[in-house]
Amino acid sequence: MRSRHQAKQTPTLVVVSRLFALGMAMTSLLSVGAWGQRAPTTPNVPWLPDHHSLERHTTAVATHEAPIDEEHVYSLGELIDIAESNSPTTQAAWNRAKMTAASVGIAKSELYPTIIAAVSGTTYLNPQLFGPTFVLQDWAIFDTEIHLAYTLVDFGARRTEISAAQARLVAANLSFNNEHLILIRQVSQAYFSLLRARGLREAAEVSLNDARTTETAAQERRKNGLATVPEVLEAKAATAKAAYDLQSAIGAEQVEIGNLARVITANPVKPLKVEPLDQLRIPDKLDQSVEDAINTAFKDRPDLQADQARVRAAQAEVKHAHAAYYPSLTFDGSKGWIRGFGEQYDSPGTYAKTFTYGATLALKWTVFDGFRRENSISNAKAEEKVATEEVRDRQDEITNQVWNDYANAATALEQRQAAAALLSASSESYSAALESYKDGVRNFLDVLAAEDALAQARAIDVIARTQVLQTFTDLDFRTGDLLTNHPKGKNP
């Protein structure tokens, strides 16, 4: 006949056995997918995943498309608004800044005590050697406890870590601003590139019309016996070339539409209307010296400011590494309530409950750690020097960038004036050559040369106007002014 303890022990073993079997079964199920994963068998052919693996181990991300009003004519400011509201790069930079802000909160949490509430239940059956025999003891304990741990003094270790985290947050916020600055420039340049392509397409249309006019004049003179067949054929060839150039310009315009749609996260298939080049004000002078532009860049460039914030973070990390040489004073305390039941074989059981508490005040001072602290300080100082040199390199880079873009902007202004004069002269020359040809004073080759020169002058004028806009935008980008002085849409 089984004893009372043997009767109690049997259900316990059954429960434990069943739990163990369930755990083994779950482990087998969960490991099937892991066992099914293999690296490519050879380096010679691509890996061909099965459909089940793709569904199980990849996540489909929904595409995002900025809404566009097909009838609205968008200004540059409105295009920038759309891009800033929908760009994945600014969204990612924003979330990186939020991650860094959370790290500041994590660092600050060290200033507060840690409070842990714990509840545990324990039961076990084991033999104890009592005198000459083993005696079975059955225990059951239920314990609740509130535990408090707090660092009272650490000689600035926590404060320096918080300072470093705060400096990194400033750097992340400035990097977020820099992403906006880059995005504004990308939208502006894509917009100006589209205007250039559209202007070149319009110029090609006018040039094709001029070629047809010249061809008509040659045919009229041929009917009157004043022109030769080669002249008419040359006129037709010039018209065909103008038609070819127009198709190239149309294709280039479509490419730029796609580039602008990409920057503002729109669908290039849908029509996108933008303000034409003729409605934009073309700057006619530079309003600051190159020295002022460089100084402005040193003051306002967010990427340089972010690098400077990283220097501050590195300096705080050096102080934090030094703080490891000092002791820390901590307090640990707990208060709880415990109740327990126990019995020995062939003895009556007993029950007890009571409140419990504990308190510990500890002074910890690391005497030797295998030169860990010394190496940590050396590492932190090296990182500080790296960050400092990166600032200096950025300053040199900014100086060169501003100098080059300032020179490009000044050159674009001069080229704009020359292009306007060239267009005016070429237009008058073509008109005079065509009229003289109709009157029989000039030959046909003179008309073709004037026509070709006028087509080139139109293209140069379009390029020169957009070049001024692009170089001025580049200069504002290099100085950082573009972040606050860019064209505004609906957002202030």
Instruction: Give residue 292's pLDDT.
Output: 97
The bridge status of strand 114-130 relative to strand 133-153 is antiparallel
3-state DSSP of 305-364:
HHHHHHHHHHHHHHHHHHHCCCCEEEEEEEEEEEEEEEEECCCCCEEEEEEEEEEEEEEE
- Over residues 416-461, the pLDDT tens digits come to 999 999 999 999 999 999 999 888 888 888 889 999 999 999 999 9
* Residue 415 tokens, joined: 């080229």
Instruction: Give residue 160's pLDDT.
Output: 95
Neighbouring residues of 349: CB distance < 8 A, sequence distance ≥ 6: 138, 341, 342, 343
- Over residues 333-371, the pLDDT tens digits come to 999 999 998 888 778 888 899 999 999 999 999 999 999
Instruction: Give residue 53's pLDDT.
Output: 77
What is the mean pLDDT of the segment spanning 178-186?
A: 96
Instruction: Give residue 1's pLDDT.
Output: 38
Instruction: Give residue 438's pLDDT.
Output: 84
Instruction: Give residue 12's pLDDT.
Output: 52
**33 pLDDT more than 70:** no
Instruction: Give residue 137's pLDDT.
Output: 84
CB 478 within 8 A of CB 297: yes
- Over residues 297-323, the pLDDT tens digits come to 999 999 999 999 999 999 999 999 999
15 against 138, higher pLDDT = 138
- Complete edge-to-edge strand list for the sheet that includes strand 133-153: 114-130, 133-153, 328-344, 350-364
Q: Name all domains of the chain by residue range, CATH numbers in brackets.
A: 73-112+155-326+372-485 (1.20.1600.10), 114-153+328-364 (2.20.200)
- Over residues 369-425, the pLDDT tens digits come to 999 999 999 999 999 999 999 999 999 999 999 999 999 999 999 999 999 999 999
What is the mean pLDDT of the segment spanning 185-206?
A: 96
Q: Structure pTM?
A: 0.83
List the one residue out of 15, 322, 27 whose CA is nearest residue 164: 322
Alpha-helix residue ranges (DSSP H) falling in 87-228: 88-108, 157-223
Percent of the chain with pLDDT over 90: 71
Rounded CA gap, 180 and 164, in Å?
25
CB 308 within 8 A of CB 431: no
Instruction: Give residue 22's pLDDT.
Output: 76
Instruction: Give residue 331's pLDDT.
Output: 95
Rounded CA gap, 148 and 232, in Å?
100
